[in-house]
Chain A
Amino acid sequence: MTEQQQARKATVTTPSDWEIHIEREFDAPRDLVFATFTDPALIPEWWDPTTVVDEMVVRPGGSSRFVILGEDGTEETAFRGTYREIAPPERLVQTFEWEGLPGHVHVETARGSARFSSSTASRTATVSSAPGWRRA
């Protein structure tokens, strides 16, 4: 791995027992990073190779639902959430809940500064190894 590739990897830290802070730098204007991050048409291209966007209403209170397809093309698992704050290009707060483990909601706060970073906080701090986190 070259030094340049190494530098592009995300930095992952855990500020507390229930927070994961992920930071990665992109060589692009914040507006474009924010627009790409919130474009439903582009989600399947980066989120997960077999993601289907069932719903993605990017406005405060709007819902999202991403379906992950299994190898046979049928629904394997799904994630749903709500957009809480949308303030381009600086801040996006959304919740995520894996349908296989209802009630365990984590809050993702994406901050676009000179660096675009994403923090995930889970009240339950539960990391489950249950099948369903499995993805192709």
Chain B
Amino acid sequence: MVQYVPVDRTFSALADPTRRAVLERLGRGSATLTELAEPFGISVTGMKKHVRVLEEAELVATEKVGRVRRCTLGRRRLEDVEEWIGTYRRMLDERLDRFEEVLERQKGVPQ
């Protein structure tokens, strides 16, 4: 049986261009909410909501340092998405392997 991984939250979190851009930005190093909000031209409150969604999907981790909240990439990264896509990739290859076996056998059958 295919083993399922909890990718729903990951995909919801990624289904937004701002949040994907935040992940890209954090890939280059940690940032505060203010630093994240500024290039997108959105409020810190607005950015806080985006970061919260990413945090719930464990794609981002935050830590309160004094009066600011510092954001870094979370421990989860995108491994679960890769794993989920991988199961479909394996199913496809297995199906085409079976097709090839049938095809080889049909070579001996008069058409």
**Stretch of A41-49, A60-68, A77-85, A95-103 at the chain-chain interface:** A41-49
Interface: A93 (CB within 8 A): no
Cα of A117 to Cα of B37 in the assembled complex, Å: 45
- Expressed in whole angstroms, the minimum distance between the Cβ of B23 and any Cβ of chain A is 19
In the complex, the chain B residue whose C-beta lies closest to that of A131 is: B4
Q: Is the interface of B mostly helix, strand, loop or mixed?
A: helix
Interface: B16 (CB within 8 A): no
Taken residue by residue from 68 to 111, chain B's Cβ proximity to chain A (1 for < 8 Å, 0 otherwise) reads as 00000000000000001000010111011111111110110001
Residue of B1, B91, B93, B102 touching A46 (CB-CB under 8 A): B102
Interface: B63 (CB within 8 A): no
- Expressed in whole angstroms, the minimum distance between the Cβ of A69 and any Cβ of chain B is 14
Residues of B within 8 A of A129 (CB): 4, 7-8, 11, 84
Which B residues contact A (CB, under 8 angstroms)? 1-2, 4, 7-8, 11, 84, 89, 91-93, 95-104, 106-107, 111
30 sampled A-B residue pairs with Cβ under 8 A: A8-B97, A8-B100, A9-B93, A10-B92, A26-B99, A26-B100, A26-B103, A28-B103, A28-B107, A31-B111, A32-B103, A32-B106, A32-B111, A35-B106, A36-B99, A36-B102, A36-B103, A37-B99, A42-B102, A42-B106, A45-B101, A45-B102, A46-B101, A48-B95, A129-B8, A129-B11, A129-B84, A134-B2, A135-B2, A135-B91
